[in-house]
Structure 1
Amino acid sequence: MRAARLIRMALLVQSNPGLTAAALARALDVSERTVIRDAQALQEAGIPVRSERGRTGGYHLAPGYRTRLTTLHPTEAETLFLSGLPSALRDLGLSDAADTARLKLTATLLPSVRAAAEASVRRFHLDAPAWFREPSAPELLPELARAVWSDRVVALSYARPGRGGAPACAVSRVVEPYGLVLKAGTWYVVARLHDGDGPGGVRGDGPGGGWRTYRVDRVTALAPPAPGGPEVFVRAADFDLAAHWEAHAHAFARALLRTTVTVRLTAWGLGRLPDVVDGAAVGDALASASAPDGDGLVTLALRAESEDVAHDQLARLGADVEVLAPASLRARFRERAAALAALYRTDPETGSGADGQR
């Protein structure tokens, strides 16, 4: 465990000279005190890691020194060849480049390591999109990816979904696109609002400190910013896309749940609830559940994106769920139940009702 961490630390310092103890501690998920001890251990092992003070300080390797720790272990090669998603690379227009890079990497590997890497590809395949959903790349995804790669400021037009059945409305923002995320087959862009009047050109106040997440399939247009404005932005050195997404994804999912529905469920319906509703809503819903009543029924409050979404989700539970509120949604289920009762009242073969009469 420690040996692997020491190798990682040496490679981090080699590829990113000037990393501070705090930055290394975050990257290695250890304390700063552990970083200091590990630096001493590397020095004792003959790797000239040194710490420098001042504005250009941090940890460095001695000038001209490069570690010899870059040879891949078979297990590392297996992991590396599993790290790409073919569908994601295709959506981004990078599949050809990835194939070429993989061939070049394969050619540099020792025969034993090459065999391990090829074996992993034959045994594992990563499929990002969800079931029963035909994946499609948003039309503007490749152009947006180029803006992300080049740190280019863009004017983004976005179709914001309407609330309560209202039609979608068009929104325009000038943003700094920091990264793209593929989540369950849907692409999102993580961006920071850009404002030439703000400090450093970035609007940092307000909810989320100026950070926004947009679904790429709802982006309707991309254009350069207004003439005279900056064409590129300076990326924050401490921004970590994976950490940002992990920190904000749960809050983002919960923010979509704008409607509260009160329901009564059978034991079977309660057990099936996590299979039919949004994952972000399940924990709060189960926490709000009452004790079973005399008939074994449980009442709870469930959050959903909208009444339409709640209707579609809860309909899968059939008679094992009863909507108590809001009244409008209860009325929709009453109308649905009446329509189903009328549909199934008549025998499709004879045209007669359940009592044998036409």
Structure 2
Amino acid sequence: MRASRLISLVLLLQSGGTMTAGELAEQLEVSERTIYRDMLALSAAGVPVYAEQGRAGGYRLLDGYRTRLTGLSRAEAEALFLSGLPGPVRDMGLGESLAAAQLKVAAALPATLRDASSRARQRFHLDAPGWFRDADPPPLLAELARAVWEDRVVVLTYRRREEVVRTVEPLGLVLKTGSWYLVGRVGGGVRTYRVDRAAAVTVTDTVFERDGSFDLAAFWGEQALEFERGILREQARIRLSPAGVRLLRHTVEALAARAVDEQAVTPGADGWVVVTLPVESVAVACTQLLGLGPEVEVLDPPELRELMRSAATRMTELYR
């Protein structure tokens, strides 16, 4: 384990230049004390690593030093070919570039690893879009992807209730269950736009400066969580049968299902449990809970219970 970490340290310094002990510790998920010990071990092994003092200081390798410890293991080579998503990459207009890069990587591998690409393709496939969705990419995706790569400001015409025009600094693109989203800076804030709602895009010649600390994955994770929490503003008290407990996660938002799972409730003599369910609204909750049929009973609020009763009555009349 330590030998692998020492190799990772050398490769980080080789690719990242000067790095502080704190930055290295964060990358390798160890303590700074461990980094200090590892640096002594590298130096004792003859690796020309040294520390620079001062505010801009840190650890670095002697200029021109290159390690030969860059050979790939079989697992690493196979993971490399799994890391690309051919469908989304093709949608962004980069299909030919991906194919060319994979050919070059495969040609550079030793003979014993040449089958890594075919082994990965034979065993794993990611189908990103959800069921019953149009798999065609949004027509303006390739233009937005080019603007993202080149850090160019775009003028975006966006469909809401009516069309609006925004000047956006495109920071990144996110694929979520088959739908593409543009994350961009507008004025002083960061906004998110569904790409398939873009009516027109003009890529300008203006190049914007990126914030080096912006983390697209972290931003998206926080936004997604805030979105779920933001829409689940109301609550309902419900009774669930054992089957209803199992089926609930298929009918409501994941955050709502987790909130139910976290409640320490004791089943009654009949096995049913009473829980509090976060919901978006009475109308949405009625639509979701009807999917559980007789495995759920709404206790509160009264208007939701009435909606469920009315729906059950209409269904009874239909099947009488």
Q: TM-score, normalised by structure 2?
A: 0.86
Task: Please report the RMSD computed on the Cα atoms of aligned residues, expressed in angstroms.
Answer: 2.8
Secondary structure, counterpart of 2:258 in structure 1: helix
Partner Cα separation in structure 2 for residue 175 and residue 326 of structure 1? 43
Residue number in structure 2 paired with 1:76:
76
The residue identity in structure 2 corresponding to 1:144 is: L
Question: Aligned to 1:82, what secondary structure does the other structure show?
Answer: helix
Residue aligning to 2:241: 266
- Residue 111 of structure 1 aligns with which residue? 111
Q: Which residue type is aligned with residue 177 of structure 2?
A: A
Once the 2 structures are TM-superposed, how far is the Cα of residue 47 of structure 1 from its aligned partner?
2.2
Identity %: 50
Give unmatched runs, 5+ long, in structure 1. Answer: 161-167, 196-202, 204-209, 346-358
What's the CA shift string for 1:47-73, capped at 9, x where partnerless?
A: 212222345533322112111122222
Of residues 264, 287, 292, the one that matches 1:317 is 292
From 206, 210, 224, the equivalent of 1:235 is 210
Q: For 1:289 and 1:155, how far apart are their aligned partners in 2?
A: 51
User: What residue is the counterpart of 1:123 in the other structure?
Assistant: 123
Separation in structure 1 between the aligned mates of residue 94 and residue 14 of structure 2, nearest angstrom: 28
Equivalent positions of 1:1-358 (< 5 A) are 1-54=1-54, 56-159=56-159, 168=161, 173-193=166-186, 195=187, 203=188, 210-223=189-202, 231-288=206-263, 291-293=266-268, 296-345=271-320
| Residues 1:338 and 1:213: Cα distance change in structure 2 (over 3 Å) | same
CA distance in 1, matches of 2:76, 2:126: 17
For these two proteins, the number of residue pairs brought into alignment is 320
| Cα deviation code 1:286-331 (max 9, x no counterpart) | 4457544565543323223444543332121002122344444444
Cα 1:222–1:20 shift into 2, 3 Å: farther
Amino acid aligned to 2:227: F
Distance, in Å, in 1 between the alignment partners of 2:233 and 2:198 is 22
Counterpart residue identity of residue 191, structure 1? G
> 1:12-33, CA deviations, whole angstroms, 9 ceiling, x for partnerless residues?
2111212222222222222222
Structure 1 pair 187–4 and aligned structure 2 pair: CA distance change class (3 A): farther
In 1: Cα distance, 2:237 partner to 2:60 partner: 59
Counterpart of 1:214 in structure 2: which amino acid?
Y
Aligned CA distance change for structure 1 residues 20 and 64 (closer, same or farther; 3 Å): same
Whose strand fraction is larger, Structure 1's or Structure 2's? 2
Distance 1:294 1:110, change over 3 A: closer
The separation in 2 between residues aligned to 1:136 and 1:309, in whole angstroms, is 29
Q: Which amino acid aligns with 2:182?
A: V
**Would the aligned equivalents of 2:172 and 2:182 in 1 still touch at CA under 8 Å?**
yes
3-state SS of paired residue (2:115): helix
Q: Is the 8 A contact 1:286 1:300 kept in 2?
A: no
For residues 194 and 5 of structure 2, the distance between their equivalents in structure 1, rounded to whole angstroms, comes to 37
For the 8 Å contact 1:266–1:296, the answer to whether it is kept is yes
Structure 2: gaps (5+ residues):
none
- The 2-side partners of 1:19 and 1:217 are apart by 41
Partner residue in 2 for 1:352: none
Question: Aligned equivalents of 1:285 and 1:172: distance in 2?
Answer: 41
- Secondary structure, aligned partner of 1:190: strand
Letter in 2 for 1:61: L
Q: Is the 8 A contact 2:81 2:116 kept in 1?
A: no
C-alpha displacement of 1:275: 2.3
**Cα gap change, 1:342 to 1:183, in 2 (>3 Å):** same
| Secondary structure, aligned partner of 1:100 | helix
**Contact 2:241 / 2:295 at 8 angstroms: preserved in 1?**
yes
Given residue 257 of structure 1, which amino acid in structure 2 is its aligned partner? L
